[in-house]
Amino acid sequence: MNKSIQTDELSILFLSCDKYRDLWKPLFYCVNKYFNQKKYPIFLGSNTVSYNDKKVTTLLSGPDKDWSTSFLAILDQIQTHYILLWLDDMFPIKKVNSSLITNTLTFMKNNKAIHVHIEPEPKPDKVLSGGEFGEYEKGAPYRAIAMGFWDVSALKKLLIPGENPWNFEIMGSYRTSYMDGFYCAMKPVFLKMNVVEKGKIFNEAYRYCTKYNIPLNSSKRDVIRNTHFVKSELQKLMFNTVKKIPWKFRVSVMSALRKIMISY
């Protein structure tokens, strides 16, 4: 164990809400299977409903107003300097290497990092010496995304009441344009499966959970099938393709297009 790391420096927060409580049982089934650790406290953030699990402490925000307002109310109850923010619809599917979490925390402390992505998505602007971490330049889009390691006090300053997660990743990244401290791990800290999109279960995730006896209750929400599934996959393909284009080029093209449209 790295002696410079104190167990009260990091906590793991699974951010959720009452209307997604049907995901808690399958989520923590996977967490207990692949990330059964006792070093860092585990919190579940929700609105008014608690989860009955001795390993998990539920933090309640009160009746839901909006994502960022509820999130801030939950963060106010956390005492650790850093958190690993985990979203409720992302299930771990392989054994989590706890040493990678410890290494990331050490990196954050040594580099005064604000945020570290758990994987190199989007691709960083440069890879740092040693090859373990990459850095996002000032102005880079999606340098602030919800899931990942965060300095709690800095995160609270970036959150604005009234925003949803998608607003935050776009506008929150814009608000960081003049800030240092945004990085990513070059090797995924853990492998995850996205289970839900727009309230519906991905067909692939449903089949995976059925195959491995993960207690996902499909009676609580629809499973994405056929036409909707194809449309969703095409949208993801387009988004992932666009992300591979260097962001500075994307920004310059969009700026040129805006000027053309305005002059027209």
Q: What residue ranges do the domains of the chain occupy?
A: 10-224
Q: What is the largest CA-CA distance in the chain?
A: 63
DSSP 23-59: GHHHHHHHHHHH----SS-EEEEESS-----TT-EEE
Contact 38/56 with Cβ under 8 angstroms? no
DSSP-derived secondary structure letter, 172: I
CATH numeric code, 10-224? 3.90.550
Question: Which pLDDT score, from 0 to 100, does residue 218 have?
Answer: 87
What does the block give as tokens for 158?
């970036």
Mean pLDDT for back-to-back runs of 10 residues, the chain (264 residues)? 56 97 97 89 97 95 95 96 97 92 96 96 91 94 92 96 91 91 95 92 93 92 67 52 56 52 46
